[in-house]
Structure 1
Amino acid sequence: MRFGSFVFPVSHQPENDSAVIDSTLDEIVLAEQIGMHSVWLTEHHFDGAAAHADPLVLAAAVASRTAHLKIGFAVIELAFHHPVRLAVQTSLLDNLSHGRLIVGTGRGSAYNHYEYIGFGITMEDGLARLDEAEDLLVKAWTGEPLQHEGEHWDLEFPLLRPRPFQQPHPPLIRACISEASAVRMAEIGRPVMIGIQTLPTLQARLERYRATMLDSGFTEEQTEATLDQCWASRDLFIADSYDEAHEIAAAGFERERTHFRRARELYNPGGFPPPDPNRPIPAGESLEHSFIMGTPSQVAEQVAAMRDIGIRNLMLKLNVGEMDTHKVQKSMRMLGEKVMPHFA
């Protein structure tokens, strides 16, 4: 089982941004030291949800400070990037990291209209451009020469330089919120990142993904190889006692959810509607379903439950709601010393 660090460092006040970025880099370096497989960098703008905002620039810093960690994006918000410029930047990052890049893509936030407005587009435009942008990204990495005539971009150039370090290009993975989106990716054999879901939902989604790939003509070997690149998300905190872990996790989770909600209320045109009391709370907004927490042995049991339903790669948010970085680092060390060895 592989463990990745999901880097989503909320900064509650602008004056905290620099310190949060510094502590985030320290936590990424520690992730390599404790033997984690990868680090996954997110992208959000204007609200402090991700203090670094730009994962591409942060990835360059990570490449210079680490030697073995895979560097993934979870995700690059394709709506905010020209695909050819993105191809150049990711190709350079792949060279700087000597082939450690994994390019995770998605349309961007499904709730933060103000991010799209800030880049001069609409959320609907972002969704409409997604498939063509991803297609053009791959063409730019591999085409020689490249000509593209599409709905959103018409362009040509002789050759992308530098070429990606990994050939034919870095691994590509798509973030999928809905089951329908995951099924679409299964039909073309593309691995997926699945956000926080209950264990039964995760198991059902993986089973349908597998069945769809086989029904689409992929071999058992191809299907297994693709499932081996799929990731599922959780938050995680480890402490010397369950009560301590729960107290720190619950406080961080509430700070983070409040931050997200207030930003949408303040910045979205028309605000942000309150949750519908007649609908169940999404798993990602529930502490119970979001967090793996407790002592090392309790956490190992919870990770084993995920492994037993077919999860092979676990993307863990290790600092939730601007937690104290010393407590986060202690939690990470216990993860590396007392939990991960059980799943080697």
Structure 2
Amino acid sequence: MQHGLFIAPYHDVNESPTIGLRRDLEIVEWVDRLGFAEAWFGEHHSTGWETICSPELMIAAAAERTSRIRLGTGVVSMPYHNPLMVVNRILQLDHMTMGRVMFGMGPGLLPTDADMIGVDIKSLREKLTEVAEIIVPLLRGEEVTHKTDWYTLNKARTHLLPYTQPHPEIAVASAITPSGGMLAGKYGFGMLCVAATETAGFDVLDENWKIANEVAAENGVEMDPAKLRLVVPMHVAATREKARADVAEGLARWVEYFDRVAPAGMRGMSGAGDPAELLVNAGRAVIGTPDDAIAMIEKLQAKQGEFGVVLLQAHNWAEWEETKKSYELYARFVMPHFAGTNRNRQSSYGDLTNAIDRLESQRTAGADAAFAQWEKKTGRKAG
């Protein structure tokens, strides 16, 4: 299992957008040093909170600050773009990052985005399906002619061939409906389960993966659980009390926003009591200790089965230093638990615990013998 970040992002409309964007880059640099494997940047154009309108720009900047972490578009809202233009940018990033870019695509989450540019909200999933048909040939550098009622490709091909062979990894957003799983299954794409811990999203996790595998079998492709990613909101501290204190103010503001923008089935937190208690009790987030984070992931494993990556939702509930500390604690205690990193160390410590009394008596006997030998030789007692 790998671990990463999913950065929508969420920045309070009362704060500096400049600092928010800079900190999005800084946090990726921080988790790169901590050993996280991935970071994904969203695309949004409205609401004021989710301030990244070009994930490609963020990836380009983050790539220059980091050395190993993979960077993804999480996701490009394909109905808002000509697919050739998007693929050209992805392939440019594939070269600029020397193979660290991942291409996540989706229909577009915020209805206000589509409304501003006159795109029928009801058509978004259909448009994504149309694009999926030609995205792999474009990424491979093949020539594509394809016409729909919203874009035309006439013997279109990308300027660059891919750095990554045969092409950068592709993932499709999946929330509650089966559309993401069906699309992923048809083409063998990875899945970004962006609502994995939301009640409705959690309930259909295994079902959507089952649908993806059934559709994949019908189309002669195979789904790879290593490319299944589950997004989880978490804030981790040394104690549950400390975690809740860290997020008290920021979480309340976020809940106000989320209850306005989320689909109807995910709302209902604002004004309903302590938001931390509501989220934790409903299983929608971790606001607690590393052990609580481990328990959440094990709960997801029990529901989903095998999956490849846990993506921590970057929510900015806490102040900057507490946010960084949360990721550090996760890297120190949660990641090693699932990697089995400390298995030999813990076994060695167990051996010590079990054998120390017996070995200590032998060590004492050896020391006594050395003292006795010295006294016999010199006639004097040591010390």
* 1:198 CA displacement: 5.5
Amino acid paired to 1:290: R
Whether 2:307 is the aligned partner of 1:320: answer no
Unmatched segments (≥5 aa) in structure 1: 265-271, 278-284
Per-residue CA deviations over 1:74-112 (Å, capped at 9, x if unaligned) read 211112221111011111011111111111111111xx3
Amino acid paired to 2:333: K
Whether 2:206 is the aligned partner of 1:197: answer no
* 1:257 CA displacement: 2.5
Q: Report the equivalent of 1:242.
A: 240
Alignment check: 8 A CA contact 2:141 2:160 kept: no
52-61 or 183-192, which moves further after superposition? Answer: 183-192
Q: Report the equivalent of 1:280.
A: none
Amino acid paired to 1:336: A
Structure 2 CA distance for partners of 1:342 and 1:115, relative to 1, 3 Å: same
Greater relative CO (CA pairs within 8 A, separation 6+): 1
Residues of 2 paired with 1:258 and 1:304: CA distance?
Answer: 29
Residues of 2 paired with 1:210 and 1:66: CA distance?
Answer: 36
Structure 2 CA distance for partners of 1:338 and 1:255, relative to 1, 3 Å: same
Structure 2 CA distance for partners of 1:220 and 1:253, relative to 1, 3 Å: farther
Residues of 1 paired with 2:14 and 2:336: CA distance?
Answer: 39
Alignment check: 8 A CA contact 1:63 1:97 kept: yes
Whether 2:284 is the aligned partner of 1:290: answer yes
Residues of 1 paired with 2:338 and 2:332: CA distance?
Answer: 12
SS of the residue corresponding to residue 168 of structure 2 reads coil
Q: Report the equivalent of 2:122.
A: 124
Q: Aligned match of 1:338 in 330, 333, 338? A: 333
Q: Report the equivalent of 2:366.
A: none
* 1:182 CA displacement: 4.0
16-25 or 39-48, which moves further after superposition? Answer: 39-48
Residues of 2 paired with 1:220 and 1:79: CA distance?
Answer: 27
Q: Report the equivalent of 1:307.
A: 301
SS of the residue corresponding to residue 163 of structure 1 reads coil
Q: Report the equivalent of 1:166.
A: 164
Structure 2 CA distance for partners of 1:113 and 1:71, relative to 1, 3 Å: same
Residues of 2 paired with 1:133 and 1:211: CA distance?
Answer: 20
Q: Supply the RMSD in Å over aligned alpha carbons.
A: 3.1
* 1:183 CA displacement: 4.0
Query: Percent identity over the alignment?
Result: 21
Residues of 1 paired with 2:63 and 2:308: CA distance?
Answer: 25
Structure 2 CA distance for partners of 1:220 and 1:207, relative to 1, 3 Å: farther
Structure 2 CA distance for partners of 1:166 and 1:275, relative to 1, 3 Å: closer
Alignment check: 8 A CA contact 1:318 1:332 kept: no
- Structure index of larger Rg: 2
Residues of 1 paired with 2:265 and 2:142: CA distance?
Answer: 49
Structure 2 CA distance for partners of 1:186 and 1:10, relative to 1, 3 Å: closer
Q: Report the equivalent of 1:17.
A: 17
* 1:185 CA displacement: 3.0
129-138 or 97-106, which moves further after superposition? Answer: 129-138
Residues of 2 paired with 1:46 and 1:151: CA distance?
Answer: 25
Per-residue CA deviations over 1:287-319 (Å, capped at 9, x if unaligned) read 122212312233223323333442432111143
89-98 or 9-18, which moves further after superposition? Answer: 9-18
SS of the residue corresponding to residue 255 of structure 2 reads helix
Alignment check: 8 A CA contact 2:182 2:211 kept: no
Amino acid paired to 1:149: K
Q: Given the two structures, how large is their TM-score scaled by the length of structure 1?
A: 0.83
Alignment check: 8 A CA contact 2:232 2:312 kept: yes
Structure 2 CA distance for partners of 1:199 and 1:305, relative to 1, 3 Å: farther
Residues of 2 paired with 1:220 and 1:335: CA distance?
Answer: 39
Paired residues for 1:152-191 under 5 Å: 152-157=150-155, 159-185=157-183, 187-188=185-186, 189-191=188-190
